[in-house]
């Protein structure tokens, strides 16, 4: 229950509370300040319940259904034709030995529907994790190539309103991300091993504190 409150209600409540508090402090009103603050916080709570509940259903009920439907359409259906398989509301496939994840987000980083692809690679070279400075350098180096870099993956997000990106753009990402991963001498890795190394990396960061 606490996790649900924190995920779907906490941020809207904080934002709305601050908004109504500013309005009470600096807005014009004939009512006492204390009354304006109380009324404002009541409105903030009511709106939080409304907004948070919609967000909850979008994310846990309507969102997964929409993702499942979207995986039957372009550009996902073309990925399925070349061997990608559906797993937990996303597609997983292999391109020139590199494992690729393809996901649909009903509300992406720009607040719009989006399609995200991740090309996975080993975040370790030898016994050491790739340094954060290396990731920053990669993002500068490939800024013009529609490829972004994280620890253990090259990725890109296509946001859209009505028409999703054509498969040609997705295919170009597959070709380029694998090409550049090879040029940077990043070894392929499976999703299972990635998840294990993510846990190892969190432990590594904890020890550095």
pLDDT tens-digit series, residues 117-152: 999 999 998 888 998 999 999 999 998 888 999 999
Within 8 A by CB and 6+ apart from 70, the residues are 76, 104, 164
At 28, phi and psi to the nearest 5?
A: -85, 125
**Are residues 149 and 180 in contact, defined by beta-carbon separation less than 8 angstroms?**
no
Q: At what angle do helices 33-57 and 11-26 cross, to 10 degrees?
A: 150
Q: What are the tokens at 126? A: 């030898």
Q: Cis omega (within 30 of 0) on the bond before 75? A: yes
At 78, phi and psi to the nearest 5?
A: -70, -35
152: nearest Cα among 118, 123, 195: 123
User: 10 Å Cβ neighbour count for 103?
Assistant: 20
Q: Could you state, in order of their start, the residue ranges of all structural domains in the chain?
A: 2-69, 72-208
Within 8 A by CB and 6+ apart from 61, the residues are none
pLDDT at 207 over 70: no
At 120, phi and psi to the nearest 5?
A: -85, 140
Predicted TM-score (pTM) of the model is: 0.71
pLDDT confidence bin for 111, thresholds 50/70/90: confident
Q: How far apart are CA 132 and CA 203, in angstroms?
A: 16
At 92, phi and psi to the nearest 5?
A: -125, 130
pLDDT digits (tens, 9 = 90+) for 184-205: 999 999 999 998 888 887 776 6
pLDDT confidence bin for 69, thresholds 50/70/90: confident
SS3 content of the chain, % helix, strand, coil (to 5): 55, 20, 25
Fold of the domain spanning 72-208? Yope Regulator; Chain: A, (3.30.1460)
pLDDT digits (tens, 9 = 90+) for 79-106: 999 999 998 889 999 999 999 999 998 7
């Amino acid at each position: 229950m606490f996790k649900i409150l924190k995920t779907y209600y906490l941020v809207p409540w904080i934002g709305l509370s601050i908004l109504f508090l500013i309005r009470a402090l600096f807005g014009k009103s004939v009512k006492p300040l204390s009354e304006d603050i109380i009324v404002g916080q009541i409105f903030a709570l009511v709106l939080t319940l409304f907004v948070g509940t919609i967000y909850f259903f979008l994310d846990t009920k309507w969102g997964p259904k929409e993702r499942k439907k979207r995986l039957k359409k372009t550009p996902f259906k073309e990925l399925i034709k070349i061997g990608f398989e559906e797993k937990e509301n996303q597609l997983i496939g292999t391109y020139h030995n590199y494992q690729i994840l393809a996901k649909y987000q009903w509300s992406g980083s720009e607040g719009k529907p989006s399609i995200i692809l991740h090309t996975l690679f080993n975040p370790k070279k030898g016994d050491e994790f790739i340094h954060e400075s290396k990731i920053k350098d990669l993002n500068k180096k490939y800024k013009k190539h529609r490829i972004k870099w994280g620890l253990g993956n090259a990725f890109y997000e296509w946001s859209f309103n009505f028409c999703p990106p054509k498969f040609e753009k997705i295919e170009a990402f597959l070709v380029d991300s694998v090409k550049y991963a090879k040029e940077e001498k990043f070894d392929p890795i499976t999703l299972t091993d990635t998840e294990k190394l993510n846990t190892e990396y969190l432990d590594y960061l904890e020890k550095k504190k």
